[in-house]
């Protein structure tokens, strides 16, 4: 019998500390008015070194909340897939660290590196595994501690990026619905628009130029901005067309939260009113692969999603990578 992948629980976890735009005025040459007008961000969460807010901690807390909502015990998980570009360590994977923390003994665990598209890529891997019959119950996580790779001297990026985690429990179910389809794209020729400058095998630590500050994120924001709207609109249209749906059939769009103007441009292109687009960028900034699962969890807990609703997830990020997925909500 054909199996379908349904989201049966969501969870999220945010660091306690709030960094306001005013606080950033003390660090770089910026101001609240510019940040709000150009990005839509008013505040963001930054993890602490002393509290339990590492990538693994945030991912584990978000996962525990999603499992609790789903009524699934960690021992039932067959697979844990984590989208992240800021793991606690290069290896082992964050997936394995979460597996240990949750005591999910029988799960296969690994990470997916797809920039801000990490969660959607991970969700697609799980959807495929469930449809193939190789996985019954899975945990999909998007988590970032971008504060660890931000260049705090670069006003073009440090005002945008932040930390957080979101998770979803996905189950194999015979009923139709759940994840209807996923559509993924990449363009590696444009990797230099957004990348981590170092901290890899390419430049062994001993050879570091002292002027290169390791792990710092570099971004060419303006060309990314223009491509983001076009790529997200195109892939969303592909996902809608694949399912014979139009923008009017979508109850809620849960987009990657990189910039409110990107989200507005996407909504405009799809002719979907902003009232049907979930945004929380104002409070959390851009948490990369975590934005979509955090927003999905908030929308779910606020009761904005009803059984049978069509939900459009759409993303764009480093790689470049982008993608869209349509869900028929079944909780």
Three-class SS state of 199: coil
Compute the least distance from the CB of residue 293 to ligand COA, in Å.
15
**Would residue 286 show up in a list of annotated catalytic residues for this protein?**
yes
The residue whose two tokens read 């660290």 is 97
Is there binding between residue 194 and ligand COA (CB under 6 A)?
yes
Judged by CB under 6 A, which of 141, 143, 228, 294 binds ligand COA?
228
**Would residue 256 show up in a list of annotated catalytic residues for this protein?**
yes
Residues 256 and 90: their CA atoms lie apart, in Å, by 25
Q: Which two tokens stand for residue 218?
A: 């570099």
**Which listed residue (116, 135, 158, 231) is catalytic?**
116
> Is-contact 294 12, C-beta < 8 A?
yes
Beta-strand pair 108-112/79-83 = parallel
Q: What are the residues whose beta carbons fall under 8 Å from the beta carbon of 115, sequence distance 6 or more?
A: 85, 194, 288, 289, 317, 318, 319, 320, 321
> What x-and-dash track marks residues 56-95 binding ligand COA by CB under 6 A?
----------------------------------------
Minimum CB distance to ligand COA smaller for 93 or for 259: 259
Compute the least distance from the CB of residue 14 to ligand COA, in Å.
18
Give the CA count within 13 Å in the CB-facing half-sphere of 143. Answer: 35
Say if residue 155 is exposed, middle or buried (CB neighbours under 10 Å; 0-12, 13-18, 19+): middle
Three-class SS state of 323: strand
Task: Output DSSP code: residue 25.
Answer: H
Q: Which two tokens stand for residue 222?
A: 């303006």
Judged by CB under 6 A, which of 79, 143, 224, 270 binds ligand COA?
224
* Ranges within 203-222 binding ligand COA (CB under 6 A): 221-222
Minimum CB distance to ligand COA smaller for 215 or for 225: 225
Judged by CB under 6 A, which of 10, 99, 172, 259 binds ligand COA?
259
Residues 329 and 297: their CA atoms lie apart, in Å, by 13
Compute the least distance from the CB of residue 265 to ligand COA, in Å.
11
The residue whose two tokens read 């991912």 is 59
**Which listed residue (256, 259, 300, 310) is catalytic?**
256
Minimum CB distance to ligand COA smaller for 126 or for 194: 194
Q: Is residue 298 within a helix (H) or strand (E), and if so which, with residue range?
A: helix 291-301
Compute the least distance from the CB of residue 76 to ligand COA, in Å.
33
Task: Output DSSP code: residue 195.
Answer: E
Three-class SS state of 243: coil
Minimum CB distance to ligand COA smaller for 228 or for 312: 228
Minimum CB distance to ligand COA smaller for 25 or for 309: 25
Residues 262 and 228: their CA atoms lie apart, in Å, by 7
Compute the least distance from the CB of residue 117 to ligand COA, in Å.
9
Judged by CB under 6 A, which of 317, 322, 327, 328 binds ligand COA?
317
**CB atoms < 10 A from the CB of 35, how many?**
23
> What x-and-dash track marks residues 146-185 binding ligand COA by CB under 6 A?
---------xx--x--------------------------
CA of residue 2 relative to chain centroid, distance: 28
Residue nearest to ligand COA (CB): 221
Minimum CB distance to ligand COA smaller for 21 or for 54: 21
Q: Which residues are catalytic?
A: 116, 256, 286
Binding site for ligand COA (CB under 6 A): 30, 34-35, 38-39, 116, 155-156, 159, 194, 221-222, 224-225, 228, 258-259, 262, 286, 316-317
């Amino acid at each position: 019998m054909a199996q379908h992948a349904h989201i049966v629980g969501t969870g999220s976890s945010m660091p306690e500390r709030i960094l306001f735009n005013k606080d950033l005025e003390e660090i770089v040459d910026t101001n609240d008015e510019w940040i709000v007008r150009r990005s839509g961000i008013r505040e963001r969460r930054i993890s602490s070194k002393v509290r339990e807010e590492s990538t693994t901690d945030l991912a584990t807390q978000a996962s525990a909340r999603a499992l609790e909502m789903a009524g699934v015990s960690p021992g039932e998980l067959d697979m844990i897939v984590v989208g992240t570009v800021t793991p606690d360590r290069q290896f082992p994977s964050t997936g394995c660290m979460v597996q240990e923390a949750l005591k999910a003994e029988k799960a296969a665990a690994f990470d997916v590196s797809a920039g801000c598209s990490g969660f959607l890529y991970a969700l697609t891997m799980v959807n495929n595994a469930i449809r193939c019959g190789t996985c019954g119950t899975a945990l999909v996580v998007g988590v970032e501690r971008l504060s660890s790779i931000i260049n705090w001297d670069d006003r073009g990026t440090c005002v945008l990026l932040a930390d957080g985690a979101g998770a979803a429990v996905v189950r194999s179910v015979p009923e139709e619905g759940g994840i209807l389809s996923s559509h993924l794209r990449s363009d590696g020729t444009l990797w230099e628009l957004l990348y981590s400058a170092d901290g890899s095998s390419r430049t062994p630590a001993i050879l570091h130029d002292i002027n290169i500050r390791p792990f710092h994120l570099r971004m060419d924001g303006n060309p990314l901005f223009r491509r983001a709207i076009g790529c997200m609109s195109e892939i969303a249209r592909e996902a809608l067309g694949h399912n014979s749906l139009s923008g009017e059939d979508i109850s809620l769009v849960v987009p990657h939260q990189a910039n409110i103007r990107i989200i507005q441009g996407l909504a405009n292109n799809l002719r979907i009113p902003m009232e049907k687009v979930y945004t929380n960028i104002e409070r959390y900034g851009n948490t990369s692969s975590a934005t979509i699962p955090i927003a999905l969890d908030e929308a779910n807990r606020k009761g904005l999603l009803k059984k049978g609703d069509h939900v459009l997830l759409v993303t764009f990020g480093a790689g470049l990578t982008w993608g869209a997925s349509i869900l028929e909500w079944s909780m």
